[in-house]
Each structure stands twice: as structure tokens, then as C-alpha cells.
Amino acid sequence: MLKNYFKIAIAVLKRRKFFTFISLFGISFTLTILIVATAFVDNVTSANYPELNRDRSLYINFLQQRNSKYGYTQNGPASYYYMDQYVNKLKTPESIGISSLFVPVNTYVNNKKLVVNIKYTNEAYWHVMQYQYIEGKPYTQQQIDNAERVAVISDDLKKDYFGDIPNVVGKYIEADNVQYRITGVVKSVPVTMAISYADLYAPYTVSKTDYRTKGLSGNYSAILLARSKAELPKIKEEYAGIVAKIKPEQKDFDQFISYADSYVTSFTRQMAGDPTNSSGLNILITAASAFILFFMLLPTLNLININISRIMERSSEIGVRKAFGASSKTLVWQFIVENIILTFFGAVIGIVLSFIILQVINNSELITNMHLSINLTVLLYSLIACLFFGLLSGVYPAWRMSRLEVVTALKAQ
């Protein structure tokens, strides 16, 4: 029976090639957009090089001082003083990596301007992150304490600054009018990973912004690495206890707010505006789900209209089959199977297109050092969603078809 349905479906698809093209285009285009978009989101939010320990890490990158009476706030990253005085006092984490936001500066190589993004870190940062060393090693705690001008650079910066020299450890590189001695070269990180991306990493003690300046606000973030995922709630609780004792810097404010969050939540909380009420994660998930639902409904409605047109074209066939005893149930099932076959073909085309587009994006280096790939879990759910909406788009036309009277169906042709 299914074999006959398959043959009929192929014949119907060949009969009106334009309608078939529109249907397949709608299904494959929708699936392609979803797979490519989720590949990007998955790359940004999942544990990827060098942040391989995100599942047992908490992030502190946002402070808020608030006037609860009038609602105005002061938001931003923390100072190194805050990290040293409060975050470094935490006893539960295995390690606490502290780093600044990357800052672009200019340097010149062979009379050519080169933009170098500098990040300042503590020594534990190199334990929390899992950088791949191409040459050398990170700077030590002793070098940080001595405020030595040493640096770890990315392999992209090595190529741009030194060319094809095989080993640059021990050589000097100039950035922002400062000479740094190179201790190591690491594999480059895409700019989408804001916590770990930089061209040049240097000790926080050589930053031109005095790390000893007292004040809560600055440009540093912290990663709290737990020994296991089970320890994360305990770390959150310990940090909340410390934050509860901190007073705002200015008299205009009466609330000080900061959280140790998972990677994604640490950013959605900033977008939520009022972190005391919501982390923003549920809002983001709801908005993304609504967008995907709406995005998939459009081709579904298109398929319903096309399928209704196909029914009217096949009314004589339906009338003849009914006249020879075919039940409405048989015809409905046949029509739904035809629609699922069409959806399956569209899904296969969509997967092939997605793979091609992702390869083009990776090879073109649209975002340097970012490698996108198809998430198999997302692919599975996308296929299930496509088949569901394909089934849904066939139910209503099939129901319309089942209600056609034999005489009416024969007269319609």
C-alpha cells in the first residue's frame, strides 16, 4: 500500500512542477535557516575552545547599583579591586580566573597599522581556560607580581606581526607603545567569545589602568571554576552572602546587586534590565520559541493553500475512486502520506543546503576562527518539527477532500 502511495505521490509531484518547486522551496528554506541559525547560536553558547569547562563554571561580569525608590541604576563590569577584595575571598571554587575586557590598540609593522586587542589576566585565568599552546607557556605568578611586561599572543597575531618565523618565544612585540616579551603562543579564539578572545594577553599588573584604584566599577570579569557541577549552587550561595554585605559606592544608591551565573544567564541578566526580578533567560527562550513557531507556520500555511489547489485539480480522480468504493479514510490517509513524502524530500534538500552553506561560511572565514557545524540534536528536533508541520499542513486539505460528494467531485472537472 505504501509503495503505491509513494508512486502516486511522485506522479503528483511531477504533474505540476511549479507547485512542487514552491512547496519544496518553502520546506527546505525554512529548515536551512533554522539549522544555520542554531549552528551559530550553538557555537556561541556551548562549551567550545578554550572555554571547555562552562558546564562547571559561573561567570561574574555585571554589577548594578540601584536606587530602589526612583529606579535609576548604574550598571557595568567590576574593577580589579572588587575582584580582589570580594570575589577572590570565595573559598568554594577550585580556581578563579580574572580577566579584563579586550581593548583595541594600534601598532605598526613595516609602516602598516595593525590593531591589537589586549586583555589583562591573573595567573589562575590560564588554569580555568583550556588554551592550546602552539609555542611556549603562560606567564607565571612571579612575573605577575613583578609586573614584568610579558605576554601570550594568538597565532593570528604572530603571523601578522612576525610573518612565517617558526618560533617567537623570547622575542619582543610592541603594542600601545609598550614592549612585551613573548612567553607563549596560543591557538586563536573567535571574537564571538568575549571572555576569552584577544590578540595579546598580559598580566593585570602592567595595565595602564591602575589595578590598585579603589572602586567597584571597572572592566574586569571573573570565572569561578567548580570542582564539579554539584558545587555550583554552593558557590552561588557563598557569593550571594558576600554581595549582601557590600554597600553601594554613592549615597544616591541603596542597593548593590551582582550574581554568579552560568555563561548564557550572565549575559541575559544584563539585557533583562532589572536583575532583581528576572535573569532574562526565560524571556529569551520564550521569544526564540515564538519566533521559530511563527517562522515554521509560514511555509505550513503556504503548503495548506497549495494542497487545497491540488485537491481541486484532482477532484475527478477523487470522484472516480469514491464511485468505485474507495472510503474517505483511505483517501485521507493517502493524501497525508503524499504530504509527508513531500516534506521528507524538502527536509533532505534543506539538510544538504545547510551543510553547503556552513562549509561556505567556514571556508570564507566570515567570522575569523569560528567553525560552525550541524548540531545533531537540533537537526533531530528540526526534522521532527518539519514532519509535524508537514502532517499538519496535510490534515485540513485531506479533511476537505473527504467531504467531497462523488457527483460534486466529478462535476468540478
Domain ranges of the chain: 1-47+283-411, 57-261
Long-range contacts of 141-148 (CB under 8 A, 24+ apart): 143/183, 143/203, 144/203, 144/204, 144/205, 145/205, 147/203, 147/205, 147/206, 148/181, 148/203, 148/206
pLDDT at 335: 76
Closest CA to 53 of 127, 163, 120, 160: 127
pLDDT at 89: 92
Nearest-angstrom CA–CA distance, 372 and 36 = 8
Blockwise average pLDDT, block size 10, the chain, 413 residues = 69 73 82 85 86 94 88 90 95 96 90 92 96 96 97 96 92 93 96 92 91 89 96 96 92 91 87 67 80 77 74 71 73 78 85 89 80 78 76 74 66 57
Residues 154/188, Cβ–Cβ less than 8 Å = yes
Sequence-separated (6 or more) residues with CB below 8 Å from residue 179:
149, 172, 173
Parallel, antiparallel, or unpaired for β 172-175 and 200-203? Answer: unpaired
- Can you list the positions of beta strands (E) in 237-327? 255-258
Residue 115 phi, psi (nearest 5)? -90, 125
Cell of 36: 544555520
Nearest-angstrom CA–CA distance, 180 and 163 = 17
pLDDT at 10: 73
Neighbours of 170 (CB within 10 A): 10
31 residue type, one letter: L
